[in-house]
A and B are shown apart, each in its own frame.
Chain A
Amino acid sequence: EAGVTQSPTHLIKTRGQQATLRCSPISGHTSVYWYQQALGLGLQFLLWYDEGEERNRGNFPPRFSGRQFPNYSSELNVNALELEDSALYLCATDRTGGDDSNQPQHFGDGTRLSIL
């Protein structure tokens, strides 16, 4: 069974540009979560998508957005990039439809976004 796949592995951008990160879930998983892991800050919850809808959002500005496609894959878009957006962005997926809290999340290896 293929795991959660994220692309690209590394992404280098400059301030003000826009970045698009992609995530493909494990087959059968409908929920996709995005986290930002900046140096020294642990995992910060960004967004949760389930069944194509945004279900929850972390404390991030609107320039962080995303979507989930009918095949449950997801994109994270970051507009007007700032230096502090440099981080590892992790995608996690699970089977839940919102009523099964005991499902662990399965993580991809992340996209390392570097802002120059």
Chain B
Amino acid sequence: AQSVTQLGSHVSVSEGALVLLRCNYSSSVPPYLFWYVQYPNQGLQLLLKYTSAATLVKGINGFEAEFKKSETSFHLTKPSAHMSDAAEYFCAVSEFTSGTYKYIFGTGTRLKVLA
């Protein structure tokens, strides 16, 4: 069964420090993977997506993620955190199986950036 697990519902980093948000997935077929960001009182905004091309995917706002099939992971990173990065981040997987199409979202990780 398809699933997404985000480790750590809350992550705190200091401004300028490395951001690492973890995502592991399970999928019966090669997946497509996405990271979204949600700012307060807003919908989700796409940060980046993996669609079986390069395993290192670069997104907006300096974020990137690496698809590691052997680890079934798609962790999100950013070298240097900014205060404006404080938000909730969602990992998602989609696959087309059995004639239907499913997106599954993780439960989210709230990133706090400390001054």
Residues of A within 8 A of B (CB): 4, 6, 33, 35, 41-43, 45, 48, 55-56, 90, 92, 96, 98-110, 112
Instruction: Determine the chain B residues whose CB is within 8 A of the CB of A107 once the complex forms.
Output: 36, 43-45
Query: A60 to chain B: closest CB distance in Å?
Result: 15
Q: Known A4-B43, A107-B43; judge A102-B49 contact (CB<8 A).
A: yes
A106 touches B102 (CB 8 A): no
Q: How far is the CA of A101 from the CA of B27 in the complex (A)?
A: 13
Would you call B67 an interface residue if the criterion is a C-beta within 8 Å of the partner chain's C-beta atoms? no
Instruction: Determine the chain A residues whose CB is within 8 A of the CB of B100 once the complex forms.
Output: 55-56, 98
Query: B23 to chain A: closest CB distance in Å?
Result: 13
Q: Known A4-B43, A98-B96, A98-B100; judge A43-B105 contact (CB<8 A).
A: yes
Would you call B63 an interface residue if the criterion is a C-beta within 8 Å of the partner chain's C-beta atoms? no
Q: Which of A41, A42, A99, A110 contacts B90 (CB 8 A)?
A: A42
Closest chain B residue to A100 by CB distance?
B96
- The DSSP consensus for interface residues of chain B is strand
B101 touches A108 (CB 8 A): no
Query: A70 to chain B: closest CB distance in Å?
Result: 21
Would you call B95 an interface residue if the criterion is a C-beta within 8 Å of the partner chain's C-beta atoms? yes
Would you call B25 an interface residue if the criterion is a C-beta within 8 Å of the partner chain's C-beta atoms? no
A98 touches B101 (CB 8 A): yes
B42 touches A101 (CB 8 A): no
